[in-house]
Amino acid sequence: MTFKGKRVLVTGGAGFVGSNLVDLLVEREASVIVLDDLFTGNLNNIQNYDSVEFVKGSVTDRQLTNKLVKEADYVFHLAVRNIIVSTQQPEMDFEANARGTFNILLAAKEYGIQRVIYTSSASIYGNPRYLPINEDDNISILNPYAASKFTGESYCFAYYEMFDVPISVVRYSNVYGIRQNPGNPYCGVISKFFDSALKGEPILIHGDGEQTRDFTYVGDAVDATMLAALSPKAEGQVFNVGSGKETTINDLAQMINHLCGARSKIIHIDRRDIDNIRRRVMNIEKIRHFLRWVPTINQSEGLQKTYEWLQKDSERRRFVA
């Protein structure tokens, strides 16, 4: 199975992960529709493609969602309000993350989509009892973002069981890489650390820095997502997508300082409300077994690629200015 000649809708396709997915879909000769409200997305991420149709709008608009899903063979549903926005504006979080997913599934049921791929989050596990985290481990909802993402998952499986809507779910863990713009106030910790190191400013760590995360390079996350769309074995399944490696935030800051040749001071500041996960590392055996996927970019390579992109992007923005 391939995407050649297929019509593919990518919600959130102008965003960080979404635009990387669009790159790969274009490479695979798909005809891509991007739906994005540009809350955190950027048109510059997708403007170079003749085969990409951009529609400015939101998955909360049921009429628009119906129209676009009707035209598609596959739907990659990445549109989301991230965890920081979710805590600040829980109602917006619910509308985009939960109701938006519901709208996608309603349309998919109506129009017979070949597959809906829903991108969920490792945040739904909360503080796990055991490491590494398995897909069937306990769910522990600690914030509105996790609640809305798990609501989306639940509706996916309900529509799969009750209405035969073909779905696959991938749970991302701390994705980073090219196009994670540090100028975006909602970007991830890696881009923020790089931005500080490159500017010679202090690297700020919330809490003691001994909390751990499983950082996943965006190219690996996108590859896993594509496999979840095409493989018959992925239908009705949920997969962890991570590196399987545990890294402390203190170690991450040191690595980025070293890579940048910087001497930025590392300062520990107050923990935020969202910093309530102590440890995270994913078991990725299920996706390896079902889809033959394993990450191909190790942390050193991923950080190097991110560093090089940030340097080029900084030069481009200075030239445009």
Query: Hey, what CATH topology would domain 7-175+216-241 get?
Result: Rossmann fold (3.40.50)
pTM, 2 dp: 0.95
pLDDT above 80 for 301: yes
Beta bridge partners of 282: 133
Contact assessment for residue 216 and residue 20, using Cβ atoms and an 8 Å cutoff: no
Read off the pLDDT of residues 188-246 as tens digits, 9 standing for 90 and up: 899 999 999 999 999 999 999 999 999 999 999 999 999 999 999 999 999 999 999 99
Length of the chain in terms of residues written: 321
Question: Distance between alpha carbon 282 and the CA centroid of its chain, in Å?
Answer: 15
Q: Point out the residues that are catalytic.
A: 145
Closest by CA position to 1, among listed 229, 239, 293, 234: 229
Domain spanning 177-213+245-279+297-313: which superfamily? UDP-galactose 4-epimerase, domain 1 (3.90.25.10)
pLDDT bracket for residue 53 (50, 70, 90): very high
What is the DSSP pairing of strand 167-172 with strand 115-121? parallel
pLDDT bracket for residue 165 (50, 70, 90): very high
Question: What span, in angstroms and rounded, lies between the C-alpha atoms of 48 and 258?
Answer: 34
- Can you give the pLDDT at residue 320? 40
Task: Delimit the domains of the chain by residue range.
Answer: 7-175+216-241, 177-213+245-279+297-313
pLDDT above 60 for 319: no
- Tokens for 237, please give them: 């399944």
